[in-house]
């Protein structure tokens, strides 16, 4: 055989996209079953809490009626939960029970390719879901600026952030039940204290400064910038929030992939 005929490994980008494609293939088989709850849940939240409870709340938040105030938070929580489930339960099951990764490792894929592809998939799911939720919001008249076309991109990076964070958790977890701690102790407070239900400025005891340190605050403010407009931001420096989200997405994404690579080596 001449050297020209030797099979070469595909480049990194092709390999990572192939992993992405694997997830897409699996997912698209059960698209309706998977996407329906992911879209219905935020819709219920908006209808029940925003429109229902909101009728009793006559105060304006950040100059918005209650359901409009909630819109950004609904987008943020959708991405957070989508990416978190995929990168914790999803990744753990593939790692432990299905051994999907073991077969993939026999191909030119490296460990880093596998998890980079998976993170990319988390981002894509967030992109898709935030887009759909944004359309639902628009249907209810909760989208006030044309900058909302940026929602898919924000959804993508938000999901990279929470996907990376989820990977960090998965890389330490030995028992699938332990993810419950992450969801109740780690993620639920993010929903409650990051300005989804009420503005963080109203938090007592200086807790608002704690909120500023949470990634979710920056995610929600970023969504609020493009859905409601800068006039309705919680803080005057809200313009910085998108950059914080980008930075955290890069940092947690990289760290998460590294941690999972380390775990799969063992």
Nearer to another protein, 10 or 250 (CB): 10
**Whether 166 contacts 256, CB under 8 Å:** yes
Nearer to another protein, 111 or 232 (CB): 111
Of 7, 58, 185, 206, the one binding another protein (CB under 8 A) is 7
Closest approach of another protein to the CB of residue 4, in Å: 11
What's the CA gap between 238 and 218, in Å, rounded?
8
202 contacts another protein (rule: CB under 8 A):
no
19 contacts another protein (rule: CB under 8 A):
yes
13 contacts another protein (rule: CB under 8 A):
no
Closest approach of another protein to the CB of residue 259, in Å: 17
Q: Is 99 left (phi over 0), alpha (psi -120 to 50) or beta?
A: left
Computed on alpha carbons and rounded to an integer, the radius of gyration of the chain in Å comes to: 20
Task: Report residue 64: phi and psi, to 5°.
Answer: -125, 150
Burial class for 213, CB neighbours closer than 10 Å (0-12, 13-18, 19+): exposed
Closest approach of another protein to the CB of residue 129, in Å: 20
What's the CA gap between 76 and 135, in Å, rounded?
14
Closest approach of another protein to the CB of residue 104, in Å: 6
Of 74, 83, 109, 261, the one binding another protein (CB under 8 A) is 109
What's the CA gap between 131 and 151, in Å, rounded?
7
Of 28, 36, 98, 188, the one binding another protein (CB under 8 A) is 98
Q: How many of the other CB atoms lie within 10 Å of CB of 92?
A: 20
100 contacts another protein (rule: CB under 8 A):
yes
48 contacts another protein (rule: CB under 8 A):
no
Nearer to another protein, 109 or 154 (CB): 109
Of 51, 57, 108, 199, the one binding another protein (CB under 8 A) is 108
Of 6, 32, 33, 213, the one binding another protein (CB under 8 A) is 6
Helices then strands, counting H and E runs in the chain, come out as 12, 0
Show the tokens assigned to 9: 């490994």
Closest approach of another protein to the CB of residue 93, in Å: 10
Contact pattern from residue 24 through residue 43 relative to another protein, giving x for each residue in contact according to CB under 8 A and a dash for the rest: -xx--x--------------
Closest approach of another protein to the CB of residue 133, in Å: 26
Q: How many of the other CB atoms lie within 10 Å of CB of 76?
A: 32
Nearer to another protein, 15 or 144 (CB): 15
Nearer to another protein, 246 or 264 (CB): 264
- Concatenated DSSP letters of 60-102: -BTTB-HHHHHHHHHHHHHHHHHHHHIIIIIHHHHHHTS-HHH
Name the DSSP letter for residue 7: P
Interacting residues with another protein (CB under 8 A) = 1-3, 6-10, 14-15, 18-19, 21-22, 25-26, 29, 98-100, 102-110, 265
């Amino acid at each position: 055989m001449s050297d020209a005929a030797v099979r070469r490994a595909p480049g990194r980008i092709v390999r990572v996209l192939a992993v992405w494609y694997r997830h897409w293939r699996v997912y698209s088989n059960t698209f309706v079953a998977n996407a329906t709850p992911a879209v219905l849940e935020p819709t219920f939240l908006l209808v029940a809490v925003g429109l229902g409870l909101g009728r009793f709340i006559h105060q304006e938040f950040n100059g918005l009626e209650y359901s409009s105030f909630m819109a950004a938070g609904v987008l943020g929580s959708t991405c957070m939960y989508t990416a978190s489930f995929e990168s914790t339960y999803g990744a753990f099951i593939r790692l432990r029970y299905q051994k999907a990764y073991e077969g993939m490792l026999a191909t030119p894929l490296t460990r880093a390719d596998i998890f980079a592809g998976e993170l990319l998939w988390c981002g894509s799911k967030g992109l898709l879901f935030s887009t759909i939720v944004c359309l639902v919001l628009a249907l209810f008249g909760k989208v006030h600026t044309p900058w909302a076309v940026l929602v898919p991109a924000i959804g993508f990076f938000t999901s990279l952030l929470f996907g990376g964070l989820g990977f960090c958790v998965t890389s330490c977890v030995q028992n699938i039940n332990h993810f419950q701690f992450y969801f109740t102790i780690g993620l639920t407070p993010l929903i409650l204290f990051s300005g989804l239900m009420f503005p963080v400025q109203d938090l007592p005891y200086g807790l608002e400064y704690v909120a500023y340190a949470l990634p979710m605050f920056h995610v929600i403010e970023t969504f609020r910038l493009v859905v409601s407009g800068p006039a309705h931001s919680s803080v005057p420096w809200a313009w910085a929030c998108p950059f914080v989200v980008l930075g955290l997405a890069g940092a947690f994404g990289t760290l998460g992939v590294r941690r999972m690579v380390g775990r799969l080596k063992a």
